[in-house]
Chains A and B, each alone.
Chain A
């Protein structure tokens, strides 16, 4: 019985293992590497959280075929990506181009990190300044007595 369950589970896994395998011939290994590079940078317009290298949608198959065709024609990676953007819009780029509209996207994380550091530095400096001032002006006798009595009251409570 448990053997059967395993069999069913394995069968359920089969489509995953079969996903997106086609046979393409390349003239050079460099072309093959570029094929995987470009197709993993292009987003599938149908199943929108996958790149066209991973997706099993018919349109992803078509787009992989187009990528392969253009590679054999000697087009470079940018030309292939531009071809897709012309037809499917900026959406197909998994790596967004640097345009005025995407400035925030590219630079906001670094800017926030920098901002955090600046705040941290300011806070540390202030604290150091306060410590230095405390060291430079030790407590007077009166103040020391008051501190003592405050601490004792704390202990009693």
Chain B
């Protein structure tokens, strides 16, 4: 009887070991950890893009609101010229826009002139760009750095957020399949 009690810590330890090893080898976790262990899941999944009224980067006299982002399944890319990772992923967005993916930009805490020059130099994959110099829309979107990329449906509801540079791998494994699923769903609903 006494012997059995002595074994309890060992059994607990082995149980924890199994739990940790299982979590470590979990495919889903592995993917998340490989990308960025400090990435936070968005608290806004399933919620609509928060309301805002901010100037367009290309036409400062035009005020853009959340309704301007509705109508099609799209990506919202939070970017800035001070963000080196944004430069690294810019080519990918040019490519995606070339393939017909709708991309909206949020120019996050940036300088207007610098942002325009950037788009002239590197190409403009964005259907429109919202200027968010104070980061107020950023706060409402739960943005805590750049780049971040949201996936929204035609009603402007947020379905996914990716933190960090979007490249072929991220698109093929994470954003692309979700984007395609939303497109397929929208098509099914229009053609019953």
Q: Which residues of A contact B (CB under 8 A)?
A: 45-46, 48, 58-59, 62-63, 66, 85-89, 91
Contact = CB atoms under 8 A, between A and B. Distances in A.
Main secondary structure of the interface of A (DSSP, over half): helix
B144 interface: yes
B110 to A, nearest CB: 12
B135 A58 contact: yes
A116 to B, nearest CB: 14
Nearest to A85: B43
Interface residues of B, number: 17
Contact of A86 (B40, B43, B138): B43
A88 B43 contact: yes
A62 B138 contact: yes
Interface string B18-29: 000000000000
Contact of B43 (A46, A48, A66, A89): A89
Interface string B111-143: 000000000000000000000001100111111
Interface string B23-44: 0000000000000001011111
B1 to A, nearest CB: 13
B135 A62 contact: yes
